[in-house]
Amino acid sequence: MDKQKSRFRWIVLASVLFTYLLMSSQRTAPGLITDQVMLDLNVTASTVGLLIGVQFFVYTCLQIPMGILADRFGPNFFLIIGAILTGLGTIIYSLSTHEFILFFSRILTGIGDATIWVNLVLILSRWFNEKEFTRLIGVAGMTGSFGFLLATVPFSALIALLGWRAAFFSAGLLICLCGILLYFVLLKRQKQILLNESVFEKKGIQHEKTLVLLRRIFSSRQAWALLFCHFGIVGGYIGFIGSWAVPYGMDMYGMTRINASQLIMISLIGALIGAPLIGWISSRLGAIKLPYVFFHIIMLLCWSIFLIFNGHPPFYLLTVLFFIIGFAFGSNSLTFAVVRQSFPAKESGIVSGFANTGGFLSAVLLPSIFGNVLDHFLSASGSLGDGYYYGFITPVIFSMIGLIGVIFIKEKRLKGNP
């Protein structure tokens, strides 16, 4: 039976995306209980800051190794193990009594989280044809945004109802159960109904030496273009929206923390709409590069507007900018549509990991750079306004890097289009 014509592929899609939804929620959920963790475990704010960052650091470092492993041994096993590790890490986090256990739990969660996207991309690329994949990769991006949304009001309500330990324990247990579900869907049930596994997953196949493969990928202009375009589109959104958006609203507009948090919600809504819609547009056009260039330009213009208004655009324009930035961020999934189109299937895992490293590297760098700029101007002149103004130069530069990367992408038209 052909995988890409099997009805079973929709069960695979639903199972993988539901697992991704829950796993992605645990990237930001600990931020909801920062004060409670500090109080209950007697840890400092700096420790909590390191605790939040360690998961993203582990995630970023493991993207290329995970891509190599997924290409060599197939994505199914690693996605199952990743879900279970994420679930176990979340459960251990809920039981933590010491900061060492907190760090161990977040490292374990980071290892599990590092498996999800690369393996998800590979699984969808094997079960769906090129046009379906271009649409569905946008749906996958939307699912990640839903995960972030799940980690706001809904998970806060669960914490208020059960307490933070019981809420995180329940989430971890559910993610572990998803890992068991994936075992039955991706391994046990699949073997019963499908006979033609991908040729490079069969035993006895000769694989290229890892160093030779890495040397070729690192010398590929297309791979670097994908890394840079993902660097530019992801960093501004996750790096700023996820760290400095709320302080910015409070400092520059006098908003309460709750009202400033609504800026993040506006941006999330933009991403939820943008990801599937941009994937659909790309599929209809039969082109990836054209819409991707367009949304990189839109992202660059949005960040530039902050500079034009000295870091303080009118409030009505601010809300529009946050929505558009989120919407344009939804185009980031097109990076992986280009990966599928440009590289052999046996290399798509490592190239996906390579490109994804660029995105999360920028998400790690931008908050730190932005914070250092704020600290400099606050200590030099006492002006947060100047700090935010010059801070916005960073996402502008990141967006320029992304635009240069996407311009250098080479593209073939999608199959089924003239």
pLDDT of the residue at 217: 87
Closest CA to 118 of 154, 88, 75, 148: 75
Q: DSSP label at 152? A: T
Contacts of residue 374, Cβ cutoff 8 Å, sequence gap at least 6: 384, 387, 388, 391
205 within domain boundaries: no
- Do residues 254 and 343 make contact, with C-beta atoms less than 8 angstroms apart? no
200 within domain boundaries: no
Residues 218 and 361 in one domain: yes
201 within domain boundaries: no
Quote the number of domains for the chain: 2
Residues 183 and 221 in one domain: no
Residues 135 and 241 in one domain: no
Residues 24 and 137 in one domain: yes
Give 3-state DSSP helix, strand, coil % of the chain, rounded to 5: 85, 0, 15
Give the CATH number of the domain where residue 352 resides.
1.20.1250.20
Q: DSSP label at 241? A: I
322 within domain boundaries: yes
Residues 282 and 394 in one domain: yes
Contacts of residue 243, Cβ cutoff 8 Å, sequence gap at least 6: 366, 367, 370, 371
- What is the rounded distance in angstroms from the CA atom of residue 133 to the CA atom of residue 131? 5
pLDDT of the residue at 416: 47
Residues 186 and 250 in one domain: no
223 within domain boundaries: yes
118 within domain boundaries: yes
- Do residues 75 and 350 make contact, with C-beta atoms less than 8 angstroms apart? no
Residues 140 and 256 in one domain: no
**Among the three residues 161, 191, 221, which one is the final residue of a domain in this structure?**
191
Residues 166 and 249 in one domain: no
pLDDT of the residue at 409: 92
pLDDT of the residue at 112: 93
Q: What are phi and psi of 343, to 5 degrees?
A: -125, 150
Residues 239 and 176 in one domain: no
**Among the three residues 191, 218, 236, which one is the final residue of a domain in this structure?**
191
Residues 278 and 370 in one domain: yes
Give residue 363's domain range: 210-413
Residues 329 and 392 in one domain: yes
Would you write out the chain's pLDDT as a tens digit for each of its 418 residues?
Answer: 567 777 888 999 999 999 999 998 888 788 777 768 878 888 776 676 677 678 778 888 899 999 888 888 888 999 999 999 999 999 999 998 888 898 999 999 999 999 998 999 899 888 888 888 888 888 888 898 888 888 877 888 888 899 889 999 999 999 999 999 999 998 876 655 554 444 344 444 456 677 888 888 888 999 999 999 999 998 888 878 767 887 888 889 988 877 887 888 888 889 889 988 998 898 888 889 999 999 999 999 999 999 999 999 999 999 999 999 999 998 998 998 898 888 887 788 889 889 988 988 888 788 878 888 888 887 776 667 788 899 999 999 999 999 999 999 988 765 544 4
CA angle, residues 138, 141, 144, in degrees to nearest 5: 155
221 within domain boundaries: yes
Residues 256 and 156 in one domain: no
148 within domain boundaries: yes
